[in-house]
Amino acid sequence: MNLLKKIHKHLNRFKMFLDQSSNYSYAQEGEDRILTRYFGDRKEGFYIDIGAHHPKLYSNTFLFYTRGWHGVNIDAMPGSMNIFKQLRKRDINIEAAISNTKEELTFYTFSDPALNTFSKELAEKRENPSKQHYLIGTKKIITQPLSEILDKVIPAHQKIDFLTIDIEGYDLNALQSLDFSKYSPELILVEVYSENLVEEPIDQFLQSKGYYLYSKAVLTCIYKLKIS
C-alpha cells in the first residue's frame, strides 16, 4: 500500500509539470508550429520535403504525417530512405539529389548527417573537431531537376500544401528546377541566411513566381503564394 501511495504521489507531481497549453514540435526552429497555425487541425494534406534528412528529427513534415497527411520525401544521402520506408510508409520516399541541371557533384558527408552538403565551401566551414563534426567521406552523385522526379511519382497539378527545402547551399537551384506552371505549392519553406532579403536571390526568385514572405523562423523563411 505504501508503494502505491508513493507512485500516486509521484504521478501527481508529474501532472503538475504538464502544461496543457504546450505545443510539441519536431522541427528545428518550430516551423511545424507556424504551419499548424496556418493549416489548423486539417487531417489531410500533401507536402514535399527536399533534404528530408530524417523521418522525425528536425522534420518540418513529421507532425503532419502523424495527423494523416502524406507526401514526398527526398534526400541525397546514400541509404537515407531506409528508415523513411520504415517510419513513413504512407509517403513516397526517394533517394536523389536535386538541382536545376543534370550534373555530377561531390556530396560531402559528416558525422552528423544534418551537416551534409554539396558545397565544398560549407563543408570546409563545418568541419569542427571540437564539436565532433567530422567529414567522413565524399560521393559523386548525379543531380536531377525536381519537376522531373515529381512527374514520375505524382499527378500533374497535384495540390501541394507546402514545400520545404533544406539542401545546404543548393536551395535556389532546387527551386529553379520546379515547374511552377505544374506545381505551385501554397507555402514554401526555405533557409535564407542573408538579413537583407531585398538582395537575396531566393527572395527575388520567389517573388517573380508570385510569392511573398508570410512568416519567418530564425533562418527559415515561409513564403505564401499570392491569390489572384
In a domain, 130, yes or no: no
- CA-to-CA distance for 163 and 154, rounded, in angstroms? 14
CA 225 to chain centre: 18
In a domain, 64, yes or no: yes
Full domain range(s) for residue 208: 23-100+144-225
Surface-to-core class of residue 158, CB atoms within 10 Å of its CB (0-12 exposed, 13-18 middle, 19+ buried): middle
In a domain, 150, yes or no: yes
Q: pTM of the entire structure?
A: 0.84
In a domain, 27, yes or no: yes
* pLDDT of the residue at 196: 82
How many domains is the chain partitioned into structurally?
Answer: 1
* Strand stretches in 55-177, DSSP E: 70-75, 92-95, 97-98, 104-110, 135-144, 162-165
* pLDDT of the residue at 115: 78
CATH number of the domain at 164, please.
Answer: 3.40.50.150
In a domain, 218, yes or no: yes
- CA-to-CA distance for 20 and 13, rounded, in angstroms? 15
In a domain, 163, yes or no: yes
In a domain, 128, yes or no: no
| Count of CB atoms situated within 10 Å of the CB of 196 | 8
pLDDT per residue as tens, the chain (228 positions): 566 655 655 555 555 455 656 678 999 999 999 999 999 999 999 999 999 999 999 999 999 999 999 999 999 988 899 999 999 999 999 999 999 989 888 888 887 777 787 778 777 777 777 666 778 788 888 999 999 999 999 988 899 999 999 987 789 999 999 999 999 999 999 998 887 888 899 999 999 999 999 999 988 999 999 986
Contact (CB, 8 A) for 191 and 178: no
Contact (CB, 8 A) for 214 and 187: yes
pLDDT digits over 70-116, tens only? 999 999 988 899 999 999 999 999 999 999 989 888 888 887 777 78
